[in-house]
Structure 1
Amino acid sequence: MNKIEIIARRILGWKLNRWDRWFDYETGVFIPVSEFQPEQNLDHAMRIVDRLEKLGFTYSTNGVSMACFNDFCETGDTLAEAITNAAYSIADTSTVPEEWL
């Protein structure tokens, strides 16, 4: 799995419906894989921020190239990339409890 797949599955709780689209059970919406690009799109990255805040994480940033969720801090060339990197740090190193999904 790549970084975006791990975030989609472990943080957002999405399921891969087909090889080319996710299904968000919370909203009942299909999301084409090609249309979820949080590293390039700040609106997509903020969707991750919203979800992690609902899960109890506190989000902070320097506004440009660093994002933190509690003690998980990462940098990127853009804020969207930094958010994605920090979220990936959580998803890749933490077990997300089932009750979060």
Structure 2
Amino acid sequence: MNKTDSIARRILGWKLNRWDRWYDYEKGVFINDCDFQPEQNLDHALMVAEKLEDLGYKFRADGESEVWFNEVRATGETLAQAITNAAYSIIENTSVVSSSALWRKLC
């Protein structure tokens, strides 16, 4: 599972509908893999940041290549890449956030 897949599943709560498509239960829409690229698209990355804020993380950007979510710091060549890297770090380091807190919000 790559970064984008992990973020879609564990932060956004999307379910894999087909090998190339996600289903967003909150909005009731299908999202193709090619239509969700948070490392390249700042709007997609900011959607991830907004969801993390809903889950209790405070987002702070320091310039165009460094971000913080609470104590988690990440960098990237772009702001979108930095947000994606930070979100993935949260997934790797805290399984509790992606499961119990997310499911409380979704249910």
TM-score by length of 2: 0.90
2:42 corresponds to 1:42:
yes
Give the C-alpha shift of residue 97 in structure 1. Answer: 3.0
Which residue in 2 is equivalent to 1:32?
32
Would you say the 8 A contact 1:6–1:92 is kept in 2?
no
Correspondences of 1:1-101 after superposition (within 5 Å): 1-95=1-95, 96-101=98-103
Superposition CA RMSD, Å: 0.9
Q: Which runs of 5 or more residues in structure 2 are unaligned? A: none
Would you say the 8 A contact 1:75–1:85 is kept in 2?
yes
Distance in 2, Cα, partners of 1:98 & 1:14: 15
Give the C-alpha shift of residue 99 in structure 1. Answer: 4.1
Structure with higher helix content: 2
Give the C-alpha shift of residue 50 in structure 1. Answer: 0.7
**Alpha-carbon deviations, 1:56-81, whole Å to 9, x = none?**
00000113100110011100000000
TM-score by length of 1: 0.96
Where has structure 1 moved over 3 Å in runs of 4 or more? none
Give the counterpart letter for 1:97 in structure 2.
Answer: S
The count of residues paired between Structure 1 and Structure 2 equals 101
Give the C-alpha shift of residue 84 in structure 1. Answer: 0.2
Percent of aligned positions that are identical: 57
Q: Which runs of 5 or more residues in structure 1 are unaligned? A: none
